[in-house]
Amino acid sequence: MSYWNIFTNLLSRTAPTSFAYANPFAIPACKTASLFTLAPKYSYSATRFTYPTYSYATPKFNFNFSNIFSSWGNGISSAYKNVKRWASNLGGGIVSAAKKYLGYNERNGSYKLFTGGKNHAWCADFSTYVVKEAFRNAGKSLPSGFGSSSVSGLMNWAKSKGCFLQTAGIANKSGVIKGKVKAGDLIIFKNGGRSHVGVVESIGADGRINTIEGNTSNKVARRSYSANDRTITGFAQIA
């Protein structure tokens, strides 16, 4: 008899349960005699084991990221849909009026044209003056209540009329500014300890804001700002 036959004969023996573990080759009588039938998922032949094969379905997830991103976009745009533009087609006139006064300054006192002769901070006076001039030149009535010698006064007026576009604290500032801000709007700085206002002259392809401002280095001059400048609060959309 071959060693293989001896081995398989030993494995097929049975013994009383109480003696089962005394003989390492014996299977308890209460269990199936053949070792290989204890696990029916396997099959046995004299020469090999045959292992079962398994199949499974890859789970499918119906998860549409584009819906999420589009809803984010809708949420962002909806924040500005109620911001109106007070008077269209006056941007060019406001910018033209501002350009006329480039170089006016405190040293020779020419800035007092905007303040009515008063000696005080005058960035808001300058912005008020050129907007009023543009409306007058266009033969249009000035919006009710417009005009202030303070930055807060101009910002609060724009908020009360629903034409203040706040950009502080939002994502994608450059995209919003490129899409919403026009030449002739007023840029308002009330963040980071700054209080200032100027006239938007143009918006760059990257959202950069180019301005004409009064009381900047004590004169009327051009300035330029990144869309992400932390001191920008928003824009009065009056152009």
**Cα(114)–Cα(183) distance, rounded to whole angstroms?**
21
**How confident is the model over 183-211, as pLDDT tens digits?**
999 999 999 999 999 999 999 999 999 99
Q: How far apart are CA 127 and CA 147, in angstroms?
A: 9
pTM as predicted: 0.67
Domain ranges of the chain: 3-50, 83-236
Q: Give 12-62 pLDDT, tens digit per residue.
A: 554 444 434 444 444 444 444 444 444 444 444 455 545 555 444 555 545
Rounded CA separation 77/80 (Å): 6
Structure tokens at 129: 């003056």
Query: Is 83-236 CATH 3.90.1720.10?
Result: yes
CA–chain centroid gap for 53, Å, is 50
